[in-house]
Amino acid sequence: MIDLYLCHGHVYVWNATDACDLREHHRIVGTFVGALPRLPRQNVRLGRPLQLMPEETTVLLNKGIARLLDGNIPPKTGEDVSQAITEHRQQSFREQAEMCKSDRKRKLHEMASVIAKGRAAKRKKLAQKAKEESSSSVSTSDVSSSTCDQPEDEEPSLSVEEMKELEAKLEETTGYNEQAFLVQILTEQVSEETQDAIPWKYPNTDKETLRCNVFQDLWEKGYFLTSGGKFGGDFLVYPGDPFRYHSFYIAVCQQRTEKMEALDIVRLGRLGSNVKKTVLLCSESETGEINYTSLQWTGMN
């Protein structure tokens, strides 16, 4: 059973394995709404928790795939839990420190030619200065031979000994501040105590019931569904994973007895034509069967 957590009216999935399982095996996409630990100051790519639409939650509960838990109950804490969290954060700090050292080593090798050029320029400057200050040709030749061993037409490079010396100095670096590293916020606590499932109070209106029935019918036909608000509909219907496919349909839920203005039909038809999608008017018959009416804009001379 996949654990869903109801918190302030929204349903979330915190476990990464459960989020992958929902997408890969149950065609439930959801929406990531959390910041990434290593990129917290952007909202282009988001991470856990995974927020589910009410219709997605209803399908999972009806099919017995998941259970709904109360996400407002604070987890119990104790000395063992605090000690485990402290050890986890210390381990994370050590891992991030090693990553910083590896990154600095990589940059050191990338900048080896620049460092070699800088050292060569410094040696040349010292040789020139010694030549100007020295009055003895013997001392000048000694400095030149000791500092300008490399031919001028060759590209300066660091020797193996010089590179090892720089890496050794890098290993001795101890200036990593723990407060400068990222802290992983734990979002799930494994506990031996089991929490009882809570009831799911949705749908409450005829419109919500229709949306749930339409969502479940299309989902059972093998489609992926996401929110269709950005295209003026209720759902976007995909033939496969939204990461790989564009949506084919814009599903608009309409009560069978509800009147629809001609202007609204024209608006939906033009909308589907402009975004290269087919608009589906979805309604429920008296027997409970879901009926679909497609709208396609046809140009007329």
Catalytic residue set: 238, 246, 277
3-state SS record for the chain = CEEEEEECCEEEECCHHHHHHHHHHHCECCEEEECECCECCCCCCCEEEEEECHHHHHHHHHCCCEEEEECCCCCCCCHHHHHHHHHHHHHHHHHHHHHHHHHHHHHHHHCHHHHHHHHHHHHHHHHHHHHHHCCCHHHHHHHHHHHCCCCCCCCCCCCHHHHHHHHHHHHCCCCCCHHHCCCCCCCCCCCCCCCCCCCCCCCCCHHHHHHHHHHHHHHHCCCEEEECHHHCCCEEEECCCCCCCCCCEEEEECCCCCCCCHHHHHHHHHHHHHCCCEEEEEEECCCCCEEEEEECCCCCC
**CA 16 to mean position of chain CA atoms:** 11
**95 CB contacts (<8 Å, ≥6 apart)?**
none
